Amino acid sequence: MSRFDIEVRVKPRPGLLDPQGKAIHHALESLGYPGVGEVRVGKVIDLTLEADSEAEARERADEMCRKLLSNPVTEDYQLRVRASAGKEAEG
């Protein structure tokens, strides 16, 4: 078993109204920053996962995203999977 660091990035789907992003865009303009394009606000979920292989870790994380971590009606997600540095899982 190895331990993997999983980073899940969840973003509102393209075209979906993101009022938080709009409010931030407005605030950036108010601060005088020119050239700010679209602002979208999502979230990042970090977790560690013990699995036999990177492929298995990715597969399980992907299932977690579909079942709980994102809502497919409104959100898209991206996964980053990498072996945890210098940490072998015990047992």
Partner 1 sequence: MKVAVITFPGSNCDYDCYHALKTLGGFEPEFRWHGDRELKGVDAVFLPGGFSYGDYLRSGAIARFSPIMEAVRDFARSGGPVVGICNGFQVLCEAGLLPGALLANESLLFRSYDIHIRVETLRTPFTSAYERHQVLRIPIAHGDGNYHADDEVLAELEGEDRIVFRYVSPAGDLTPEANPNGSAHHIAGIVNESRNVLGMMPHPERAVEPVLGSTDGAGLFASLRAHLEGALA
Contacts with partner 1, residue ranges (CB under 8 A): 16-17, 19-20, 23, 68-69, 71, 73-74
**Which CB, 20 or 53, lies closer to partner 1?**
20
Cα(81)–Cα(36) distance, rounded to whole angstroms? 31
**Which CB, 23 or 36, lies closer to partner 1?**
23
Q: How far is the CB of 24 from partner 1 (least distance, A)?
A: 11
Count of other CB atoms within 10 angstroms of residue 82: 11
Cα(68)–Cα(49) distance, rounded to whole angstroms? 16
Strands 75-83 and 43-51: unpaired
Place of tokens 């979230």: 43
Q: How far is the CB of 52 from partner 1 (least distance, A)?
A: 26
Q: How far is the CB of 63 from partner 1 (least distance, A)?
A: 14
